[in-house]
Amino acid sequence: MLITRRRLLGLVSATTLSAITRIAQADEFPSRPITLIVQAAPGGASDLVARLMAEKLTANLGAPIVIENVPAAGGNVAVQRVIHSRPDGYTLLVCGSKSAIAESLFKSHPFNLSKDLAQVSPIGGADLALVVNIESHLKNVQDLVREIKSRPGKVTVGVGDTIGGIQHLGAELLKSSIQGDFLIVPYGTLSKLAVAVRGGEVDAAFELMPGIVPLVQQGVFRALATTGSQRVADFPHVPTIAEAGFPKAELTTISLLAAPAGTPMDVIARLNGAMAQVLAQPDFQKALRVRGAKAAVAMKPAQTQRMMDADIEKWRSIVRLANVSL
């Protein structure tokens, strides 16, 4: 089939126009509001961090970011909402350790985080803390361990989530690390846990730092140890769990920004660059720190994906250790 000069020029023009259109569309991103799906109810630790990030990211991208809270089914509903959305950068997800746990916790799992999501950037992380009522006779981790070993199965440690949650699994890891038997009591919410600790219903509690910082600062709780590799900056007097003698109980959660798999790489790069600027802002770092969290160091998308994959494997081993499944 012969192609005339006029037809050839027409094909070249159409191809060029199509390429220019694609470039223009990419350059325009974002040209409308972005929906940010959060796997927690409003007011929770991850929700607060997401809102702080969204405020900064809105200013950086020049487009509003609308938070949508989808806390059902351990965060799985939120993940499915995102992976089934159009992969154009306008529906994003705050995910991390909760999603990593779900990969091995649920017997029936309708998605694969490593394949169905494209990781954009890290956001931050948070340690957990072992705390007691300020009036408790337990002054440090060693006191608690002695109590546990002198009364096997009788000492109670409350957590502000349900079976298979971050705090519950963290408490199971602590139990294995100290080689002592205590009863883990899931309260479902931080507010119920706080009432239980205040009322003496439990001997201690194991909870994410962002939720309990105000209670420690107000003198309601005493922090015995935190679970990160370093002391929390605003609580320099509180030892790490490793310093207390139990390095195998070290545990830090992560929070990441993700998009549906198949999102164009130029859009991912735009979002990643904007997040790098957010993470570098001292006021953003301070806002997370005073809430007991910590801002991440900026990473490229491929590095962020490796971080997610490593977290999945870490929690898989803890789920096996706890011998739980849903």
- Give the number of C-alpha atoms closer than 13 A to the C-alpha of residue 222, restricted to the C-beta side: 14
Q: What is the pLDDT of residue 37?
A: 96
Cα pseudo-dihedral 253, 257, 260, 263, rounded to 10 = -140
Q: Determine contact, residues 41/71, Cβ cutoff 8 Å.
A: yes
Of the three residues 249, 276, 302, the one that is the final residue of a domain is 249
Coil, strand or helix: which one is 198? helix
Residue from 229, 187, 230 nearest 212 by CA: 187
Shared-domain flag, residues 111 and 160: no
Spans in the chain with pLDDT lower than 50: 1-2, 5, 8, 12, 15, 17-26
Burial of 176 per CB tally in 10 Å (0-12, 13-18, 19+): middle
Is 265 contained in some domain? yes
Shared-domain flag, residues 71 and 50: yes
Range of the domain at 89: 33-125+253-322
**Locus of tokens 């119920």:** 192
Q: Which two tokens stand for residue 129?
A: 């803390």
Is 221 contained in some domain? yes
**Locus of tokens 């089914």:** 73
Quote the Cα angle for 308-312-316, to 5°. Answer: 170
Shared-domain flag, residues 156 and 301: no
H/E element, 205: strand 204-208
What is the value of pTM for the model shown?
A: 0.86
Q: What is the pLDDT of residue 13?
A: 53
Is 7 contained in some domain? no
Phi-psi region of 153 (alpha: psi -120 to 50; beta: other; left: phi over 0): left
Number of domains in the chain: 2
Shared-domain flag, residues 156 and 265: no
Residue 316, C-beta contacts closer than 8 angstroms, at least 6 positions apart: 103, 104
Shared-domain flag, residues 165 and 260: no
Alpha carbon distance 17, 30 (integer Å): 21
Q: What is the pLDDT of residue 4?
A: 55
What does the pLDDT look like over 164-201, one tens digit per residue? 999 999 999 999 999 999 999 999 888 899 999 999 99
The CATH number of residue 238's host domain is 3.40.190.10
Alpha carbon distance 181, 186 (integer Å): 16
Q: What is the pLDDT of residue 20?
A: 45
Alpha carbon distance 71, 77 (integer Å): 8
Q: What is the pLDDT of residue 24?
A: 44
Q: Determine contact, residues 250/227, Cβ cutoff 8 Å.
A: yes
Alpha carbon distance 182, 203 (integer Å): 10
Q: Determine contact, residues 125/307, Cβ cutoff 8 Å.
A: no
Shared-domain flag, residues 242 and 132: yes
Of the three residues 224, 249, 274, the one that is the final residue of a domain is 249
Is 6 contained in some domain? no
Shared-domain flag, residues 39 and 188: no
Length of the chain: 326
Is 73 contained in some domain? yes
Of the three residues 233, 249, 265, the one that is the final residue of a domain is 249
